[in-house]
Amino acid sequence: MNIIAQVDHWETIVYEDDTWKYLVPSSSVSNSWVTNGFNDVSWNSGSGGFGMADGDDNTVLAGGTISVFQRIQFTVTDVAAIEKLVFNIDYDDGFVAFINGVEIARSEMSANPFPAFDETAAGLHEAAMYQGQYPYQITLDQTFVNAVITNGTNVLCVQTHNQSAGSSDLSSRVFLHAGINNSSAYFGAAPGWFIPPVVLTTSNLPIVIVNTNGVNIPDEPKIDGTMGIIYNGPGQINSVSDAYNEFYGEIAIEVRGSSSGGFPMKSYGLETRGPSPEINYNASIFNWPADNDWILYAPYNDKALIRNVLTYKLGNEMGHYAPRTQMCELILNGEYQGVYVFMERIKQNPGRVNIDKLNYDDTTGNELTGGYIVKVDKTTGGGVIAWTSPYTCAAPGWGPIEFQLHDPDLDTLHPLQLQYIEDEITDWETALAGPDFSDPVLGYAPYIDEMSFIDFMLINEISKNVDGYRISTFLYKERESEGGEIVAGPLWDFNLAWGNADYCEGGLTSGWEIYFNSVCGGGGGLQNPFWWDRLLQDPDYAHMTNCRWQELRQDILHTDSLMNYIDEMALYLDEAQVRNYIKWPVLGIYLWPNNFIGATYDEEIQYLKDWTTNRVNWMDLNMFGACPDLNFDETQNQNLRVFPNPATDQIKVVLPAAGENSKLLLYSQDGKLVKEIAVQNQSEITLTISDLQGGIYLLQLSDEKNSHEPIRFIKF
């Protein structure tokens, strides 16, 4: 396979301010308008771009314009000299473009091959160039050039549509460029802002190559394609000429994302499929558990590129499932797309959210009780409200708490199942809101996995996640035979966290996001459910929160651990980020909702490190509750380790200083000695804890001379 084109230099065939033939139609337009032979003598002539007098238009259109159709002819004297074409358009809100009657690109429009003149765009898309950003770009390869472009007269046609008749900001600025394979000049000089397509040959990251045969990927439904992944292993170089050795097969793919949907760098949801296109195919990619639902996430406005990756890593290290991630570089239909995160989609699966699969006929007994994944989220991504809580969000907002079903989907649930999960969560909310909420029997505790709620909150707070609690907040419910608890998580969507948002106090390193609950920008004004504030009103829960924070700060959330991982990822991305920011030249430019604008990638990484350091320092001084009974001596305990932590059945304890007459003392949270184990001259032991009740425990190594400071672990 060879996708490397030999381009000597770039020239521009069509400029935005060339003279176009255009029409603002009031009735149907013949489909032949996109062909070279169409007679456009009755159409108007005007200089591009076209729009509504908002500062970037040479031809001003009247208010209320739904669409504008534009045509321009261009002459080619030597097709063989053109290695590839690049089409750029800066548009608001949707468009379809053709060359010689062949569609080359579309966005925010229906699948109708020739959208009607009065069809409105499917979504809002803001023009980019007036904001200093780069316009939409698509590359047309040599195969297209040879098949479609002719020596002589050719025609470029674009129809641009507004999102509504009442909108006042339709824009259409169009360019066409040619990559010339010799030193001769054929057209005009390319504008200064033009950036030639990035050619990817090798990478230390896995290379993902998606092909939809040139078909534009819609928001929905998914379209067919193929995906190949080249990955030669850690530390190895991957080349686009290598064989697909990680995965190759049929896929179905669509654009995904809500607020990010308007960005030129798109995120994608995809399904791996088997020999029959209608049947999903479980595949183990990057040695992850086999499944068929995957995401290619575009970290466009996270200029450090790693905020989601960092968050999910921490969640997994804390003992909870969070989506697995792999940084990669993406080529789509022969065009380099930048640095992406290949990751798992949240769903029921033994290797993901490990709850029992709920079938439609599971309507009685233990089978009815799980498993369910629900969420509190926006509905702009197609979500449907399953029920509204009888309780409101925390003050001062008082807005509704609205639940969606994530897995299974709402339309696949039996009515009895929907009623069950609604009742179960409402019963928990009722107990939590009631006067006996902190009672271990009458209150909230029997309903939830408390440690999952504590860890979920701590991750949202350390990252100051402006979307935390009120958006992309998942809960799942186990079957009664598995414990029956409501569990907080998995973690999801932290691209606006870690100091990356300039609203909802997201850029501040002080203050608790849990209490910032006034209606603010983003998220449709959604507010934090009352649960999080109410839980912290229980002194025991606040105590557990403080103890958990102290424990995490010794290792997983230690400042050195956080800084080392950020540095490690920055080094890993050192070469790929250069290509990414050539493709998407947004460094030094504000992208919603950046709180910081670094001129370089290094500045973005340094900001993330500085912000995180200041944030954890503030949390150390202001943490909820108190935990005076849990004292750490980092020097004495730096090699005393317990893993996994938290754990359910067994733990392994590393004992570097266990000499003769040493013993390991196990204490409950209230200070009672639970077990005493002789560990003479042993470096590690395996300790069974299945007989212990869930909670916080302390392990202390003791010998004849002294007792070392204890280390804490959590028993689920």
Q: In the predicted model, is pLDDT for residue 635 greater than 50?
A: no
Per-residue model confidence (pLDDT) at position 57:
87
Chain segment 136-160, per-residue pLDDT in tens = 898 998 999 999 999 999 999 999 9
What would the two tokens of residue 268 be? 């994608």
* Range in 56-60, 441-445, 447-451, 711-715 with the lowest mean pLDDT: 711-715
Q: Across 123-137, 252-266, 648-662, which has the greatest mean pLDDT?
A: 123-137
Q: Are 689 and 650 in contact (CB under 8 A)?
A: yes
Q: How many CB atoms lie within 10 A of CB 502?
A: 18
Rounded to the nearest 5°, which phi and psi values hold at 635? -70, -45
CA distance to 274, 297, 342, 380, 412, per residue, from 255 (Å):
21, 10, 14, 14, 23
Angle at alpha carbon of residue 74, lines to 114 and 95, rounded to 5°: 30
- Rounded-to-integer distance, Cα 119 and Cα 67, Å: 8
Chain segment 534-548, per-residue pLDDT in tens = 999 999 999 999 999
Give the residue-averaged pLDDT of 154-174. 94
CB burial string 419-435: b at 16+ within 10 A, e below? ebbbebbeebbebbbee
- Rounded-to-integer distance, Cα 432 and Cα 430, Å: 5
Q: Are 518 and 466 in contact (CB under 8 A)?
A: no
- Rounded-to-integer distance, Cα 290 and Cα 312, Å: 19
Per-residue model confidence (pLDDT) at position 633:
39
Mean pLDDT of the chain: 91
Per-residue model confidence (pLDDT) at position 3:
41
CA distance to 120, 431, 537, 651, per residue, from 156 (Å):
22, 65, 65, 67
Q: Are 164 and 47 in contact (CB under 8 A)?
A: no
- Rounded-to-integer distance, Cα 29 and Cα 119, Å: 12
User: HSE of 344 in the Cβ direction (CA atoms, 13 Å)?
Assistant: 27
Q: Which residue did the predictor score with more confidence, 184 or 527?
A: 184
What would the two tokens of residue 582 be? 């050539």
Q: Which of 559, 479, 486 is nearest to 529 (CA)?
A: 486
Q: In the structure, what pLDDT confidence band is assigned to residue 278 with cuts at 50, 70 and 90?
A: low
Q: Are 550 and 630 in contact (CB under 8 A)?
A: yes
Q: Which residue has the tokens 């195919």?
A: 281
Chain segment 172-205, per-residue pLDDT in tens = 999 999 999 999 999 999 999 998 999 899 999 9
Residue 277 CB-density burial (10 A; 0-12 exposed, 13-18 middle, 19+ buried):
exposed
In the three-class reduction of DSSP (H, G, I as helix; E, B as strand; rest coil), residue 241 is classed as: coil
Per-residue model confidence (pLDDT) at position 518:
55
- Rounded-to-integer distance, Cα 270 and Cα 665, Å: 51
Q: Which of 19, 176, 30, 2 is nearest to 116 (CA)?
A: 30
Chain segment 19-75, per-residue pLDDT in tens = 999 999 999 999 999 999 999 999 999 999 999 866 778 999 988 899 999 999 999
Q: What domains sit in the chain, N to C, each tagged with a CATH number? A: 9-189 (2.60.120.260), 202-344 (no CATH), 365-537 (no CATH), 559-622 (no CATH), 634-715 (2.60.40.3080)
Preceding omega of 656 cis (within 30 degrees of 0): no
Q: In the structure, what pLDDT confidence band is assigned to residue 275 with cuts at 50, 70 and 90?
A: low
Q: In the predicted model, is pLDDT for residue 432 greater than 70?
A: yes
Q: Are 384 and 403 in contact (CB under 8 A)?
A: no
- Rounded-to-integer distance, Cα 248 and Cα 226, Å: 7
In the three-class reduction of DSSP (H, G, I as helix; E, B as strand; rest coil), residue 130 is classed as: helix
Per-residue model confidence (pLDDT) at position 113:
93
